[in-house]
């Protein structure tokens, strides 16, 4: 994009090279085996990418949504599953802790999370509370210098590998009586109770977290009791922007694969690139991808310069994953039988992208948020 700074352009180049060398060659195998590319994840720490939005005082890079989204796009082209795990660590855990934790908490946890020595995750969704996140029932009860936490968290990215969990709990009867804790691996009463097998994003580990009177020190409470709804909603904005970057990467990868295939595949004695219907499909895919890119990075730019908009964050989260799914389906159609098989990566890209229409708020929830914000005056009774 024309407004990328020299530092953001350098991040783009570094991530593009890294993705092609350390993510793309192993994407199919990790998808097939449902395994996590932990080696590549650790190397992201060496490159300074795991704390891209975090304070340099704790080892972070101090950059914004634009830089983080550039990483998502470049990594998403190569392996969307690995990129989702990167997002869960960097945006859901590290960024949250950087913005809301105390100096002592940040000093204790951020350096190892940012270096890649530790893996992080966030616990929000529950078996019965996905879209209605503030209805969560996992409870934290104060007992002296500790809290005892009981409940379950579902669909947790990085669950099986996490050393640190940024955990939302309920500490009172009110809808907004939510409080955050930092829970360490090995805490008595805390376990990963189930591994979840998925349609896509199979190289990103997902599991269920269980808490049975897990004893968490008072020092690990983030902020005061009841602070968490504000923290949660604030972080959801950058999460929705950056996850849309994964969809942009998938769309661009589908387009690149289609151009390559059209120049190589022959039917009726001619390359597919000579057929007008194929040209139409590729032209539309390009136009849609560029519309996605300009919408997303405009919102990133505004976010970084102080123009925060829940509606715009929800709009990019609504539109980009939907458009990327369409582009991936078109790419499968263009490839014909090969597209439907595992001979080419477009079927994996379609499976991976579908998650982006569900995670971080479903399409339907995004519609509710946007409509409510636009119509709030008209809806008043």
- CATH code of domain 6-119: 1.10.540.10
The two most distant CA atoms of the chain are separated, in Å, by: 79
- From the list 208, 237, 239, 288, the catalytic residue is 239
Percent share of the chain, pLDDT over 90: 96
Mean pLDDT of successive 10-residue segments in the chain (381 residues)?
Answer: 96 98 98 98 97 98 98 98 98 98 98 98 96 95 97 98 98 95 98 97 98 98 95 94 98 98 97 98 98 98 94 98 98 98 97 97 97 89 58
| Beta carbons of 199 and 221 less than 8 angstroms apart | no
pLDDT tens for 75-117 read: 999 999 999 999 999 999 999 999 999 999 999 999 999 999 9
pLDDT of 379: 82
pLDDT tens for 324-370 read: 999 999 999 999 999 999 999 999 999 999 999 999 999 999 999 99
pLDDT of 377: 81
Q: How many residues does the chain have?
A: 381
Strand partners, 215: 148
Helical (H) or strand (E) element with 208: strand 206-217
Question: What is each CA distance from 307 to 215, 227, 299, 319, in whole angstroms?
Answer: 40, 23, 8, 20
Decide if domain 121-228 falls under CATH 2.40.110.10: yes
CATH architecture of the region 229-374: Up-down Bundle (1.20)
The mean pLDDT of the chain is 97
pLDDT of 381: 58
Domain boundaries, the chain: 6-119, 121-228, 229-374
Helix axes 228-264, 346-354, angle to 10 degrees: 160
pLDDT of 375: 95
Q: Which of 174, 131, 172, 167 is closest to 152 using CA atoms?
A: 167
- Please give the Cα distance from 316 to 320 (Å, whole number): 6
Catalytic annotation on 239?
A: yes
Helix axes 276-304, 65-78, angle to 10 degrees: 150
pLDDT of 250: 98
- pTM for this entry: 0.97
For 170, the token pair is 């309920």
C-beta contacts of 186-192 below 8 A and 24+ residues apart: 187/214, 187/215, 187/216, 188/214, 188/215, 189/148, 189/149, 189/213, 189/214, 189/215, 190/149, 190/165, 190/214, 192/159, 192/160
């Amino acid at each position: 994009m024309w407004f990328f700074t020299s530092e953001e352009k350098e991040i783009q180049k570094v991530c593009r090279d890294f993705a092609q060398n350390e993510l793309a060659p192993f994407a199919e195998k990790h998808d097939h085996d449902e395994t996590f590319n932990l080696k590549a994840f650790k190397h992201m720490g060496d490159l300074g990418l795991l704390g891209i939005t975090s304070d340099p005082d704790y080892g972070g890079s101090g950059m914004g949504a634009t830089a983080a989204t550039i990483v998502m796009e470049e990594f998403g082209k190569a392996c969307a599953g690995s990129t989702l795990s990167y997002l869960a660590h960097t945006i859901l855990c590290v960024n949250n802790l950087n913005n809301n934790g105390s100096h002592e908490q940040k000093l204790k946890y951020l350096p190892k999370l940012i270096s890649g020595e530790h893996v992080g995750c966030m616990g929000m969704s529950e078996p019965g509370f996905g879209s209605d996140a503030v209805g969560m029932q996992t409870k934290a009860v104060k007992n002296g210098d500790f809290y005892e936490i009981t409940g379950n968290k579902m669909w947790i990215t990085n669950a099986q590998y996490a050393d640190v969990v940024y955990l939302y709990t309920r500490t009172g009867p009110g809808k907004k009586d939510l409080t955050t804790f930092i829970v360490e691996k090995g805490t008595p009463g805390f376990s990963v109770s189930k591994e979840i097998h998925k349609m896509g994003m199979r190289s990103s580990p997902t599991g269920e977290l269980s808490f049975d009177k897990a004893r968490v020190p008072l020092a690990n409470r983030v902020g005061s009791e009841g602070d968490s709804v504000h923290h949660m909603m604030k972080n959801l904005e950058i999460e929705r922007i950056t996850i849309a970057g994964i969809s942009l990467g998938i769309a661009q990868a589908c387009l690149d694969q289609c151009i390559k295939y059209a120049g190589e595949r022959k039917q009726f004695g001619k390359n597919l690139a000579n057929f007008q219907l194929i040209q139409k499909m590729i032209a539309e895919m390009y136009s849609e991808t560029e519309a996605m890119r300009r919408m997303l990075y405009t919102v990133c730019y505004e976010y970084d310069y102080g123009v925060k908009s829940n509606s715009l964050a929800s709009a990019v989260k609504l539109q980009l994953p939907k458009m990327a799914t369409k582009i991936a389906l078109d790419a499968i159609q263009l490839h014909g039988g090969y597209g439907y098989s595992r001979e080419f990566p477009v079927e994996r890209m379609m499976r991976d992208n579908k998650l982006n229409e569900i995670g971080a708020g479903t399409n339907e929830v995004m519609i509710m948020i946007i409509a409510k914000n636009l119509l709030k005056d008209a809806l008043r009774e």
